[in-house]
Amino acid sequence: MNIQKILHIALKKKMINNFEFYFSTTLFHTNQPEIILAALCVCYNNRMGNICLNINKIQKKNIFPKKFQSLTQKIWTYTKHIKNWKKHLKKIFFLNQQSNFPLFLSNNYLYTRKMWVMELYLSHFFFHKNLEKKIKIEKTKKIISVLSKENIDNNQIIAITLALLKRIVFIIGSPGTGKTTIVTKLILCLIRLYNKKNRIKLCAPTGKAATRLVESIQESIKSIFLITNEEKKQIPTFASTIHELINVMKKKDYTSNNIENILIIDEASMIDIYIFYELIKNITKSTRIIFIGDINQLPSVQPGSILKDICKKANNTYNLDTCNKIYEITKKKVKQSKNIHPQIYNNIYILKKNYRFSKSSNIHQLANLIHKRKINELIHLLDNTVQEIEYFQVTNQQQYNQMIYKIINFCKKYLKYVYENLNYKKILTKFNKFKILCAVNEGIFGVNTINKIIEKTIYKQKNKFQYLFLNKEWYIGRPIIITKNQKILNIFNGEIGIALKDKNEEIKIHFSPLYGKQRIFCPDIIQNYKTAWCITVHKSQGSEFSKVCFVIPNIFFDTLSTELMYTAVTRAKKKIIIFGNKTILKKMVQNNTIRTSNICNIKNTNTIY
């Protein structure tokens, strides 16, 4: 049996996917099984979220899941040079380095050529380019002086000043650290700096996150006192997805010498290498970009953790020039870096002060313990009854049934509220104050099963909830989540809609108003949706809720990570309820997501362009 046949078996058993199979078996000669295996490993590695593969990892044979161990062993038997794998690969790739060979080896890191080109381009841009911005210092001083009269602290003033000084800036912070406040006041400063000669674009990775960004900014404006009506008119009231923005930037009429192009990008941790590459490749030389995000949240679904790679070692220390300019404008001192660090660190500000939670906040403490992976302290906090946190151990059928009972009671309270209130805005607000989050889709602790159990219970008690049912599928109060953007209707992936009846006793799906416009539709015209009594943590990114119920499965998966737990907990503003097994919870908190990339370490960035 040759290697192609074994890989075909691996494909049937879903150890590898179609792309991995065809990429490795059709692009390379059958007399070089080592190269076929290298191609397979690097493609599989990309699917796991990594940009490149350290070939030392191939030598350890720990690429594929343990459940496919016997099949993996058969594949490895075809590698004659496994003991000298590195030396053998280097020899082959040296002969093909300057060609269009689909794989590329840089030091000990193996890439698909496409990934190599993208990482090389981004490394050159962020680590080897001058990203300063020339501004009028005296005018900026006056703008910051006026801004300081608002309700703003030193950290926020420094972050805004840094953003004005740099062409590219990263403002990083956990929920509650004032990112939206900074963005709103930064927009106002940019309007004053460039008068009407600016074009500010708001965007985010998803339509839902883009909508929320606009809503947050509009709410934040209300707290600014020294703002004119003319300035209010210039603050953006629309946000697009990054995909839409890139399509706009590709058009020739986007650029203008007389206009200052400014991009403000929220939820930047969700941006993968493909989108980062397209974004940076299509901006003009003068375009400003302000990236906003939290590096401790879940990384992008596709390969890369670019925001974290760039910002993880930054510590709010700056070179002498940046320190001097900040002091000149604000009269506030920032720390000068003792050692020479990458220039991009001068463009990063880490927000540490939390305005939403006090230092004694249990949710804030829990999030910090998860981030720092302090297991014993975390378990101690969960074991002690505190106001903001409830933990329920789920290790047997009885405890599982109790969990379901509690979850269903939450849902029943909501349905009672639906019956007593006719205002759809109030109903949407009520539903979005509490959210049940699951770590996985499948299994008895997954979204699909728990949603089915909730609906089955509602249908069983149909007599009790008779007033809710309008037909077999739809009942008043049924929540749905959109799973794919529907631009014609202006509804986006991740948005929640509620089924309610209209004046004619007909069912309509109600979504939160978008830019002041109602969004109410007949169920028949809405596609790609699921029932949403509970949703995954991934779907909740970019949202916040007063109360969160987080369900952890009873079996450990590699996808159960520190970042997943942190993201779930930080969705809660007032209370977090956790159901799960402590053993799984401990493993989850210890399972820090590390995605392989070399973006910070590439020294020669002139190899390919």
The enclosing H or E element of 551 equals: strand 545-551
Instruction: Check: CB of residue 67 under 8 Å from CB of residue 86.
Output: no
Share of the chain above pLDDT 90, in %: 49
Residue 609 has pLDDT above 50, yes or no: no
* Tokens coding 384: 């002690």
pLDDT in tens, 106-158: 878 889 989 999 999 999 999 988 888 888 899 999 999 999 888 888 999 99
Instruction: Check: CB of residue 286 under 8 Å from CB of residue 102.
Output: no
Residue-level pLDDT at 276: 95
Residue of 200, 287, 277, 283 lying closest to 239 (CA atoms): 200
pLDDT in tens, 371-427: 999 999 999 998 877 889 999 999 999 999 999 999 999 988 888 888 777 677 888
pTM above 0.95, yes or no: no
**Average confidence score pLDDT of the chain:** 87
Choose the weakest-confidence range: 78-87, 408-417, 428-437, 580-589: 78-87
DSSP notation for 348-384:
EEE----SSS-TT-HHHHHHHHHHHT-HHHHHHHHHS
Say whether 362-464+525-590 and 127-351 share the same fold. Answer: yes
Would you identify the CATH topology of the domain 127-351? Rossmann fold (3.40.50)
Residue-level pLDDT at 396: 94
Note the CATH number of domain 362-464+525-590.
3.40.50.300
* Tokens coding 130: 């001058």
Residue 293 has pLDDT above 80, yes or no: yes
Domain parsing of the chain, residue ranges: 3-106, 127-351, 362-464+525-590
pLDDT bin (cut points 50, 70, 90) of residue 506 is confident
Which residue type, as a one-letter code, is found at position 180?
T
Between 162 and 59, name the one with better pLDDT: 162
> Average pLDDT, stretch 270-280?
94
Choose the weakest-confidence range: 190-204, 283-297, 319-333, 388-402: 190-204
> Average pLDDT, stretch 41-52?
93
Residue-level pLDDT at 424: 79
Residue 83 has pLDDT above 70, yes or no: no
* Tokens coding 59: 């030598």
Q: Starting from the edge strand earliest in sequence, which strands make up the sheet with 479-482, in order?
A: 517-521, 507-514, 496-501, 479-482, 529-531
Between 279 and 514, name the one with better pLDDT: 279
Residue of 124, 132, 123, 129 lying closest to 318 (CA atoms): 132
pLDDT in tens, 438-471: 999 999 999 999 999 998 888 776 655 555 555 5
pLDDT bin (cut points 50, 70, 90) of residue 608 is very low
* Tokens coding 274: 């493909």
Residue-level pLDDT at 99: 64
pLDDT bin (cut points 50, 70, 90) of residue 223 is confident
Choose the weakest-confidence range: 46-55, 73-82, 243-252, 338-347: 73-82
Between 378 and 98, name the one with better pLDDT: 378
pLDDT in tens, 466-501: 555 555 678 888 899 999 888 888 888 888 999 888
Contacts of 16 (CB under 8 A, 6+ apart): 7, 10, 40, 44
Residue-level pLDDT at 469: 58
Gap between the Cα atoms of 537 and 494, Å rounded: 11
Gap between the Cα atoms of 122 and 605, Å rounded: 9
pLDDT bin (cut points 50, 70, 90) of residue 507 is confident
* Tokens coding 601: 């370490």
* Tokens coding 239: 């946000």
